[in-house]
Amino acid sequence: MNNAPHQPPSTRTRVRRLAEKAHYESATLYSIVDDAYCCHIAFNQGESTHCIPTACWRIDDYLYIHGSNGGRLTKAMLANNQVSVAITHIDGLVLARSAFNHSMHYRSAVIYGAFELVTDKQAKIAALDAFMDKIASGRKHEVRQGNEQELAATSVMRISLAEAASKISNKPPEDNEEDSALPVWAGVLPLVTTRGKPVPANNGAIPVPDYVNDWAR
């Protein structure tokens, strides 16, 4: 990615449909990735095409995922397959005066490239620590760390964010001029993700740690 908002990093990242909604600068991409807990990875494998959801997080200019060594996604990523990674946040439903002009508020990103395996042990541990921080900052200092067997059974992979495009839609309804006088309510129905009250497991006698209360706030 780069800081030139109108310059796609490659031909396949150029947004063609509603190009005015495209963003190519890294700051926008990072914010979309950082707000996501899940991405969808599409890839071709032989005669089949798959799209698999998985947890994700970012470190610098890379998107990270992890998986079991024997899993289909892990095997496919380690075969150096070219992939497309999609992230979408729906922020609202846009109600226009005509059915055809209804739309959504959204922030999305599509990333192209191939995943690479994180082979250095310390880099792998650091990446998993960063994932734990994304889930709940401070959690990594309290839980049991992964042991040698667990680490060996887990693959950590990353893909560069250098070839990516973002797309944002956040405008009010855009009605045709001939529909503007129709006696129909038009507007936006916002959709917001909120954090709920933590629900303890079977160890409710243990006080809720500060970082959990902070997360809920």
Q: What does the alpha-carbon distance between residue 36 and residue 6 come to, in Å, rounded to a whole number?
A: 24
How confident is the chain (217 residues) per 10-residue block, as mean pLDDT? 66 84 91 97 90 97 96 91 96 96 96 96 96 93 92 96 95 91 95 90 82 86
Say which residues have a Cβ less than 8 Å from residue 3's Cβ, sequence separation at least 6. 25, 26, 27
Residue 5, pLDDT score? 54
Residue 204, pLDDT score: 67
Tens digit of each residue's pLDDT (9 = 90 or more) over 196-208: 988 888 776 888 8
Ordered structural domains, the chain, with CATH: 11-216 (2.30.110.10)
pLDDT at 3: 46
DSSP string, 39-106: EEEEEEETTEEEEEEEE-EEETTEEEEEEETTSHHHHHHHTT--EEEEEEEEEEEEE-SSGGG-EEEE
pLDDT of residue 201: 85
Token readout for 76 is: 């496919």
pLDDT, residue 13, reads: 83
Distance CA 69, CA 134 (A): 22
Q: Tokens 């599509």 — which residue?
A: 110
